[in-house]
Amino acid sequence: MKKPEAGQLAPSEPLVRVRGLAATAGPSILVDQVSFEVWAGQVTALVGASGSGKTTSALALLGEHGDRVVLRGSVEVDGEVVVDDDGPTEADVRGRVVAYMPQHPGSALNPARRIGAGLRELEKLHHPGRDVVPEALRAAQLPGDRKTLRRFPHQFSGGQRQRIALAQALTCRPRVLVLDEPSTGLDSITRLQLVGELRELAGEGLGILLLSHDLDLVRALAHHVVVLDAGQVVASGGSEVLPAGPELRVVHGSGRSAQPLLQATKLSARVRGQEPILREVDLSVLPGACLGVVGRSGSGKTTLARCLAGLHERYAGEITFDGKVLPVLRKRTAEQNRRVQYVWQEVRGSFDERRPVVDQVARTAERLRGFRPLEARDEAVAVLARLGVSAMVAARPPSRLSGGELQRAALARALLAEPDVLICDEITTALDEHGTGLVVELLQELKQQGTALVWISHDLGLVAAVADDLLVIDAGRIAEQGHPATVMSQPSSEVTRRLVRAARVGQDPPPPVPTTSSDTRSNLL
Amino acid sequence: GSAGDQAAAQPQQGGRLRAVFAGGGAKEVLDPHVQSLFVDIARHKAIYEKLVELGPDLKPVPRLAEKWEPDAQATTWRFTLRDVTWHNGKSLTTEDVLYSLARMADPSAPDRVAQSSLASLDLKRCRAVDKRTVELTLTAPNAEFPALLAGIGTQIVPDGFKDPTKPIGTGAFTYVSFEAGRSMVAKRYADYWDGVARIEELHLLSADAEARANAVQGGQAEYANDMTATFARTAEAGRTVKIVAAKGSTMQAFVMKTDRAPFDNPDVRMAFKLLVDRQRLVDVVLAGRGEVGNDLFGKGYQYYPDGLAQRERNLDEAKALLKKAGLVNKEIEIFTADASAGFVEAATLLAEQAGEAGVKLKVTTGSSQTYQKDLLSKGVIGSHRSGAMPIPQYFTDRLLSKSPFNVTQWRRPAFDAAFAAAQVLTDETARAAKYGELQKTVRDEGGVLAWGHPDYLIAVSSKVQGVEAVPPNTLDQGRFDKVWLA
Amino acid sequence: MRARTPVAVSLLLVLIPLLVAVFGPLIPVDAAPGMPYERGAGHPLGTDGLGRDVLELLLVGGRTALGMAIGAVAIAYLAGGLIGLVAASTRHRWLDELLIRPLDVLMPLPSLLVISVVAVGWRASAVAITLAVAAVNVPTVARLVRAAALDAASSPVVEALRMQRESWIGIHLGYVGRAVLGPVAADLGTRITLAVFLVASVNFLGLGLSPTAPDWAVSISRNREGLLLQPWAVLAPAILLVAFTLGFNLLADRLVHRTRRMAEVPR
Amino acid sequence: MRAYAAQRAALAVLQLAVLSVLVFVLTSLLPGDAADMRFTETLTPEQVASLRAQLGLDQPAIERFGHWVGNVLSGDLGTSLISGGPVLDIVKASVGATLVLTIATLAVVVPVAVALGILMGTRENGRLDRTITSITLALSAIPDFVIAVVLVAVFSLKLGWLPATWVGGDLLASPVLLVLPVGVLLGRTVCLLSRQVRAGTINALHADYVVQARRLGVPRRRLLLRHVLPNAAVPGVQELARTGDTLLGGVLVVEAIFAIPGFATALVDGVETRDLPVVQGLTLVLAVAALVINLGADLVCNRLVPRSELLR
Ligand SMILES: Nc1ncnc2c1ncn2[C@@H]1O[C@H](COP(=O)(O)OP(=O)(O)OP(=O)(O)O)[C@@H](O)[C@H]1O
Ligand SMILES: Nc1ncnc2c1ncn2[C@@H]1O[C@H](COP(=O)(O)OP(=O)(O)OP(=O)(O)O)[C@@H](O)[C@H]1O
Ligand SMILES: [Mg+2]
Ligand SMILES: [Mg+2]
């Protein structure tokens, strides 16, 4: 196997050339006629809805494929043919040429090995005799001292683990870095840091293949964009080929004057034997209004929502609903139970794997509104259909629904109670733009009928658009509260300022990138 | 039989013999006066000796005492000692004998087993007559006294013997090592008076029945004691192992409590004696290796009355007696335990046979460890086995009002008196006649249903010669100084 | 690719001994008692050491051999399962501690000791042995059920069901119970074979049933001396016993395999 | 870590204390006492009664228990009621045989089971995997007494190749004594252990970090040895601890059949003869061994995979 030296390639040649890539699994076609290129020092983005074939295409760069999937076409990486018409070739480009970062890199670290050992192992494998680890650590913005290297993965925070995985990939000194959905679950500040890191790496001459449905991120980074749909390239070019997000039709709250429907005073919550997670939070929601809640990851948003929903029982302070004290869920009356509903952040976990989704959704109407099973089912099917989930899909057990479909089913499950207060915890994370549009539309309609919403999200733009009132939480306290437009345009607290500025990634004007030292260091010992 | 082989083969010298006995785990002891298990007895027989031993018919024979002589009342006995040396080279003296007797009867050591049988010995009046003669005086006359000196736990130890873990005896083997429940090793004693042992080294091992069988078959032992009939049957099919069988040596019986309903009724006792199918019990439980019993202990021993008719099964008469006693279709519990081979099996078969006579017997199994003691107090009928012992001793131990092990609760003052009267008779034939009458009474009225006399089975590897077919508790049983390896 | 032992074979292996155990005693065998360890002569499988017909013993000997084990496991699950479920579903931490801690403390108690004490104290009582075997299993079962139930009871699914105001029964039988069922079913397979072993060993060692009891394990134990004279007295009950445990092992293996596959459904 | 050790130690002390009381109560429930066990046809009831007094069995149970606890705390396990010798000697002797058997068994089982487990795990559901699974499952389904009876009948009695019993054998001189007992214990232990190793291997092979390491170019051999094996070993080590527990605590059947003077035999004998100090001593030693083994297993697992939960 002859490997051309890196310098031999003319700069005009792409690092990766994919031509007419096809992937089939039995009769089904996962990817068809996909072509794209990755250039040194540049970022190529593969975008497209979930299931459009991004991961399948990217793994082909390693010559890998899923169980019983057949690859065809041609993939050339750094001058080596990795896939030809007979499928993957003998060429081995793993690590040395192409480094792949999976979607949840945290779990990609061996729990049994110190991170230093893992890095040194890769160093010895790919670049024996050279000291590449410190460089990789620096690029991944990790300290390179002995103490850090002697720690085990579980001794790092989620964000740090992501960077360790990156450092591992960089230790291989690959020519091409493949990143699969690197921004899922990140708050806007962390996401902004990622953009900075990736820019720097590209600047050093690395070719980057970015797979994402986060269009803002793509806009901020990509030199070339390839749009996939159902396994086929539907557009390619610069960032101008990116689909524009649908306009959200937003109606702002009506019942300004009415009494607050849900109110919390001096709400503090804690987990057994730990620091309080929430400290003295006050909030109130009017009927027909929407309260947006934003904040960095781990700031306590979900905990707040669970307190309101009555699921988190260890809290101090008072929650009132419709003028009366609202107890914890176990002690609520059936009516209170029906009128306050909650949509889980972790949807997958909130469904019973063994029963069809539609049955589980319909159960709400049966138990809380006294419907008969058949009526309830019809109602469930109708609501799900409005959210874009067909009856056929909903008749399956949850494991066979996509994340986005399940998220909508969870919403439907709560809506079937016809609640007066609906608490939504990150209900659009797994949705593409179209799905988000459907959800927002339905909730706007309910709002007009007087339903109050508590809307938790990392997507500042979306929250600003739908909320009447915005709450910014930082480390369990309210950092700022006010009308969304005001908060967004004139943030008064530091967190808000940074969240807002960071959220403008990929939007014009390109934001300045203020990174305080606490962002990279805060989670270290 | 071994007699023929013995004549044919010339005795060989040397070698190591490993003999396996039923083990007693932690219960095994080195103290010859505390013994109770066969393995203990064999061990002590190798190292120590008694004044008197029992012959094949359970009749006393001289050992350390060359001869003995009672006075006319059988109260004072003179024993003449043999000229032998201890393992440490000293000679046997009258002090040794007196010390040993005192040690056996020491009331402050309740575990000395001969204590009760030697209770009649008046230690204060016992004395040395000369260097080789001791005079033993009894509190009450007893013509059977020499047999008592041949009982369990009557070994002669040297004067001042304190530490049983450093055994010194006059026996054919000298002590090397001992581990309770596992093994004892001994070497032959070069100055043994009765002919130096032929084997060089003796290992006495402890193991349960299965391990004994496997060991002797697999060549890990040359001698295995107390084997089952099934093993004998299997072994006889092969060539590696010989069986030495002492015919009808012990007694298997059911004991009925004569003081408890329903067995306080002599008719019921007789009915049970009549309903039992002895031959079937012998065929099944003893796998044919035994003789049918006649409700008497001691078949083939000294004083066993000859000429008594064998009791046969008579279901009709049994049924009639049971009907008379109102026992038909009543349930009676039979108490047994896996304490001795064949107990539960025999009880189960008896239950079947009683069923044929219209009585329901329910088999209750107790703890094998405490069975002997439990049998004294529990149940109305139970399984029973008796080892070999002289017939008068059997009477003393089990059939007198004050007998410690009176499992049939047979308490008749007249019977006690008659036995006492017989025991003082110095004339052996007169004594035998009296004993015979008493035995007839027990057979017809007593609570002992002796159904069989199992053979005592020993397995030896084919190269072992000189093993005698004699009942347990006799001189030649478990004795290794006359044995040799061909 | 379904190349594990066919279910039918495993089922057959389990069912034959089970059917013999259940219906055997109803089948009349009129065999006159013979001599010990006889072959032929009106005894298709010969006779045992007591001259009893081996076939007849085989037909009646399964009730205790399998019944005691199955009973013990059933009792262990009734008691242990209840403790585990209550401990997992209680909101009071002290109750959980009260139920589970003592079991932790009992864990190092050698099961052999418990069984030998019971065997010596209550000689030859099938009920006592069954209870002892059950007792030995309770701590493990309770912990297993508690762990499985705890996983389920603290999952968001249960919260979601509560949000829908599902009844206690609906939640615990409909969801928690079913979630526990998987691990329990897998455990049940191995536990029953282990219990059969344990009961059989106890009987084999003479610590259990009476030595003349018509029980497969007792037969094996009591007749092994005559193995070379009349092998069927040992082999026939041994074959039935092994068939049962083997079949159960195979079924349990399948079950574990299936639950693992179900858990591996791509997400 | 230190808090963990302290908690573990406290629990262990509590467990031992409760255990001692329990063992005492359990054995006291049994009918009869050690003096009764001495009863024979030649010892009269009076002799037995004075023996009981000599053994101190006529004292109230609480007093005897207190006495025993006092002795144990001062490092003395007491004396046997039956043999009169020190309990420590009995414990030592029986532990010796059991330890030899356990070590010999594990020395065979561990390499075999680990090799089989990895083989099966790396060929999940392949022909080899299914074949080995079927064989080990079948072997583990045969009760050990059946295996033992058959092995003895064939190899000792029929063929005469191997000794069938430890009686009359010297372990040092003839280690072949171990062959049959170990053979009997092999089936089930290998089955259980290899299946845990197999499951661990499969889990580790499917784990994201192994997939990722492979994607970063770690070669297969190294992947198996450095990434899969340590993680796969965790369930194996736990199972090994359980196996160790079982082997040390109760292979009564094997001990009985081969006449091995081991732990289980001593324990059952102790119970049967109501030799309370012996039972107490043996249980205590066994419980300590079990606690130490499990602690060791947890520590090893934590060492292998530091994240694994220490306290359940
Ligand atoms: N091994 C396989 N066998 C059959 N179908 C598969 C296999 N792997 C993936 N698929 C299907 O191929 C399609 C493309 O999958 P791929 O993972 O490439 O999508 P993606 O664009 O990365 O989606 P996402 O954004 O959700 O990660 C999906 O419909 C998926 O269900
Ligand atoms: N059960 C728990 N035990 C310990 N800590 C917890 C628990 N639940 C939450 N926390 C901690 O409380 C803090 C707030 O968590 P919460 O889930 O409310 O955050 P969030 O704002 O919803 O974050 P995200 O945006 O990532 O969903 C976090 O630091 C989290 O680690
Ligand atoms: Mg993907
Ligand atoms: Mg959250």
Ligand 1 site, residue A66, Cβ cutoff 6 A:
yes
Q: Measuring CA to CA, how many Å separate A18 from each of A24, A61, A222, A318?
A: 16, 8, 18, 60
List, for chain C, all residue ranges whose pLDDT scores fall below the cut of 70: 1-5, 108, 123-124, 256-267
Q: Measuring CA to CA, how many Å separate A318 from each of A271, A307, C27, C117, D177?
A: 18, 10, 74, 59, 76
> 3-class DSSP state for residue A340?
strand
Q: A204 CA to chain C: closest CA distance, Å?
A: 37
Q: Beta strand pairing status for A469-474 and A290-295?
A: parallel
pLDDT at D4 over 90: no
Q: Across the interface, which of B18, B369, B373 has its CB nearest the CB of D273?
A: B369
Mean pLDDT of D125-149: 83
pLDDT, chain C, mean:
81
Instruction: Say yes or no: B180 contacts chain D, CB-CB below 8 A.
Output: yes
pLDDT at D22 over 70: yes
Task: Give residue B9's pLDDT.
Answer: 59
In 3D, which of A113, A270, A160, A66 has the Cα closest to residue A525? A160
In 3D, which of B51, B36, B142 has the Cα closest to residue B395? B142
Q: B2 CA to chain C: closest CA distance, Å?
A: 25
What is d(CA C234, CA C212) in angstroms, rounded to the nearest whole number?
14
Nearest CA to ligand 2 atom 4: A271
What is d(CA D310, CA D7) in angstroms, rounded to the nearest whole number?
11
pLDDT at D307 over 60: no
Could you give the maximum distance between any two Cα atoms of chain B, in Å?
A: 70
Q: Measuring CA to CA, how many Å separate D302 from each of D208, D233, D311?
A: 20, 11, 11
Q: Which residues of C touch A337 (CB under 8 A)?
A: 163, 165
Mean pLDDT of B40-62: 91
Q: Please, which pLDDT band fits residue B237 given cuts at 50, 70 and 90?
A: confident
Q: Which residues of A touch D222 (CB under 8 A)?
A: 121
Q: Measuring CA to CA, how many Å separate B318 from each of A98, B269, B270, B279?
A: 101, 10, 7, 17
Determine the angle formed by the axes of helices A433-448 and A403-415, rounding to 10 degrees: 10
Ligand 1 site, residue A56, Cβ cutoff 6 A:
yes
Q: E strand or H helix at B349, and its extent? A: helix B343-356
Are the beta carbons of C134 and C73 closer than 8 angstroms? yes
CB atoms closer than 10 angstroms to residue B462: 13
> 3-class DSSP state for residue C211?
coil
Task: Give residue D136's pLDDT.
Answer: 84
Task: Give residue B85's pLDDT.
Answer: 93
Q: What is the DSSP letter of C47?
A: B
Whole-complex ipTM: 0.74
Q: Is the pTM of this model over 0.95?
A: no
What's the burial of B310, exposed, middle or buried (CB within 10 Å: 0-12/13-18/19+)?
A: exposed
Q: Which residue in chain D is spatially nearest to A64 when comparing CA positions?
A: D215
Interface contact flag, B218 D160, Cβ < 8 Å: yes
pLDDT, tens digit (0-9, with 9 covering 90-100), for B400-422:
888 888 888 889 999 999 998 88
What number does the ligand 1 atom closest to the CA of A65 have? Answer: 1
In 3D, which of A3, A415, A6 has the Cα closest to residue A204? A6
Mean pLDDT of D121-142: 83
Cα R_g (chain B), whole angstroms: 23
Q: What is the DSSP letter of B293?
A: -
Question: Tokens 């002290």 map to which residue?
Answer: C94
Ligand 1 site, residue A160, Cβ cutoff 6 A:
no
> Among the residues of A81-222, which ranges form H helices?
115-126, 133-139, 146-149, 158-171, 188-203, 215-221
pLDDT at B186 over 90: yes
Q: E strand or H helix at A84, and its extent? A: strand A80-84
Both structure tokens of C186: 């897998």
Task: Give residue C263's pLDDT.
Answer: 46
What is d(CA A16, CA A12) in angstroms, rounded to the nearest whole number?
12
Both structure tokens of C11: 């089922």
Q: What does the DSSP assignment read for D64-87?
A: HHHHHHHHHHTT---B-TTT-SBH
Q: A331 CA to chain D: closest CA distance, Å?
A: 32
Instruction: Say yes or no: D211 contacts chain A, CB-CB below 8 A.
Output: yes
Q: E strand or H helix at A236, and its extent? A: strand A232-237
Q: E strand or H helix at B428, and its extent? A: helix B428-445
User: What torsion do the CA atoms of D162, D168, D173, D178 make, to the nearest 10 degrees?
Assistant: 40
CB atoms closer than 10 angstroms to residue B220: 27
Please report, in tens digits, the pLDDT of each residue of chain A (525 residues total). Answer: 333 344 444 457 888 888 888 888 778 788 888 889 888 888 999 888 777 888 888 888 888 887 778 888 888 888 888 888 887 887 788 888 888 888 777 678 887 888 888 888 888 888 888 888 888 888 877 888 888 888 888 777 667 787 888 888 888 888 899 988 887 767 778 788 888 888 888 888 889 999 887 788 888 888 899 988 888 888 888 877 777 655 555 555 555 556 888 889 999 988 766 678 888 899 989 888 899 998 887 788 888 999 999 988 888 899 998 888 888 888 888 888 999 999 988 787 888 888 899 999 999 999 988 889 999 999 999 999 999 888 888 888 887 777 788 889 999 999 999 999 999 988 887 787 788 888 999 999 998 888 999 999 888 888 888 888 899 998 889 988 888 888 888 888 888 888 888 777 766 544 444 444 344 433 333
Is the torsion defined by CA of A223, A224, A229, A235 positive or negative? positive
Q: Across the interface, which of C112, C200, C246 has its CB nearest the CB of D249?
A: C112
User: Which D residues 238-277 touch C at CB under 8 Å?
Assistant: 249-250, 252-253, 256, 264, 267-268, 271-272
Q: Where are the domains of chain C?
A: 17-264
Q: Do chains D and B touch (3 or more CB pairs under 8 A)?
A: yes
Mean pLDDT of D232-249: 78
Query: In testing the pocket of ligand 1, which one of A56, A59, A64 has its CB within 8 Å of the most ligand atoms?
Result: A56
Task: Give residue B96's pLDDT.
Answer: 92
A302 Cα–ligand 2 center, Å: 7
Q: What are the two backbone dihedrals, phi and then psi, of residue B106, each rounded to the nearest 5 degrees? A: -60, 110
- CATH number given to C17-264: 1.10.3720.10
Which residues lie across from A440 on neighbouring strands? none
Nearest listed ligand to the Cα of residue A179: 3
Which pairs with CB-CB distance under 8 Å and at least 24 residues apart come from C216-219?
C216/C58, C216/C61, C216/C62, C216/C65, C216/C240, C216/C241, C217/C65, C217/C241, C217/D143, C217/D145, C218/C61, C219/C48, C219/C54, C219/C57, C219/C58, C219/C61
Q: Please, which pLDDT band fits residue B136 given cuts at 50, 70 and 90?
A: very high
Ligand 1 site, residue A248, Cβ cutoff 6 A:
no
What is d(CA B353, CA B196) in angstroms, rounded to the nearest whole number?
53
What is d(CA A141, CA A165) in angstroms, rounded to the nearest whole number?
12
A103 Cα–ligand 3 center, Å: 7
HSE toward the beta carbon, residue D283, CA cutoff 13 A: 33
Task: Give residue D308's pLDDT.
Answer: 47
